[in-house]
Amino acid sequence: MELLRLLSTNEIVAQVISFLILFFILRAFAWKKILLLLDARREKIASEFQKIEEAKEEISKLKSDYNEKLERIDELAQVKIQEAVSQARHIAQEIREKAAADSRIILKKAEENIELELSKAKEVLKDKVIDLTIGATEYIIKEKLTSEKDKKLISEFLDELDEVK
């Protein structure tokens, strides 16, 4: 009963109203906004972490690919070098063959030139012999020949012939 005397209906009603007003104000300005913000932040953080995890996986995959390629790079280099050497050998062979062919052609041409020059020289020699023969014949016809003169003439002829050769 003593406790009941401490109660005041007006005060109770006023306090209830005061609390309810505060409740609705805080619900509108604090609780809903803050709880939504907290949820939004939580979701954002979770999605960011998800993205980070995905990026990590991607990086890990790229790294493993890179390492794999790095391990195979010596092998690939060896293959490339072999290919280059083989190609170089092939080219060298081609060059050698071409050089041999060219040298053969040059040799043949040289032989032909020699042949030509030889035939030309023969022609010239022939002409000279003919000229000398004609000259000698003319000389014999102009002078009366003696045995000594014959010998002398033949000897001069032979000397001239040697000079021509």
Partner 1 sequence: MSQEAHSVVISHSTQQHAELPNLISILAEKFHGSRFAEYLHIWENVIFSVIIAALLSFVAYRATKKAGLVPGRLQGFLEILVSAIDDFVCGILGHHGRKFTPFIGTLFLYILTMNLFGLIPLMKSSTSSLSTTVALAICVFIYVQYTAIKENGVRGYIDHMMGKPRGIIAFTVFIPVLIFAIHLVSELVRPLSLALRLRSNVWAEDALLSVAASFGIAGVPLFIFSMLLTVLSSFIQATVFALLSTIYFALVLPYKEHQGEKG
Can you tell me the distance from the alpha carbon of 120 to that of 97, in angstroms, rounded to the nearest whole number? 34
Residue 23 vs 49, nearer CB to partner 1: 23
Can you tell me the distance from the alpha carbon of 10 to that of 16, in angstroms, rounded to the nearest whole number? 10
Alpha helices by DSSP H, listed for the chain, are 2-5, 9-26, 32-142, 147-164
Can you tell me the distance from the alpha carbon of 113 to that of 121, in angstroms, rounded to the nearest whole number? 12
Residue 35 vs 100, nearer CB to partner 1: 35
Instruction: Tell me which residues touch partner 1 (CB under 8 A).
Output: 3, 5-16, 18-23, 25-27, 29-35, 37-38, 40-41, 44
For the CB of residue 38, give the shortest distance to partner 1 in the complex, in Å: 6
For the CB of residue 21, give the shortest distance to partner 1 in the complex, in Å: 6
For residue 157, what are the contacts with CB-CB under 8 A and spacing of at least 6?
Answer: 132, 136
For the CB of residue 72, give the shortest distance to partner 1 in the complex, in Å: 47
Residue 31 vs 139, nearer CB to partner 1: 31
For the CB of residue 56, give the shortest distance to partner 1 in the complex, in Å: 24
Residue 43 vs 143, nearer CB to partner 1: 43
For the CB of residue 48, give the shortest distance to partner 1 in the complex, in Å: 11
Residue 48 vs 94, nearer CB to partner 1: 48
Max Cα-Cα span within the chain: 198
Sign of CA dihedral 82, 84, 87, 89: negative
